[in-house]
Amino acid sequence: PVSRAKHGLRKFERAGNEAKAARDAAKKEGARLRDEIDRLLPEVEAAVGERVEDPQQRSEEEIKREIEKLQARQRKQEKKHGGKTLSSLEELARKTQEVSVRKREELDGIKLTTKGTQENFDERYKFWRKSCKAKGKQAALDFN
């Protein structure tokens, strides 16, 4: 009975060793394939282009047609806006906004100055009017 048990144990050990050897061989093969893919990937991307995942599952031709359509639409919009690209229009809008803000600040300063000046003119006008009345009365008294 002991020899049978040893024989069965050896059988399991042999099966375990074979499984370990198969696992090691699979790891080596996986590492070799990974290295092969890493080596070939730049060449493939250079020849074909970067890999793109399309959630809509469109074919390459459909995607190319859509790109052409979008590029044509973009060219049409650029013609409509004087041949300017979207980025140049954004830059122009940003600069115009800055100028607008600067001019608005200048306008606020001018309004404050105008208000102060108008108050001074009103005060001077009142004084001038009173002065004219007083001089007119004095002239009337002198004449009489």
User: What's the rounded mean pLDDT across residues 44-60?
Assistant: 78
Q: pTM of the predicted model, to two decimals?
A: 0.37
Residue 81: name the closest of 95, 92, 68 by CA: 92
Helix count (H) and strand count (E) of the chain? 3, 0
Mean pLDDT, rounded, of the chain: 88
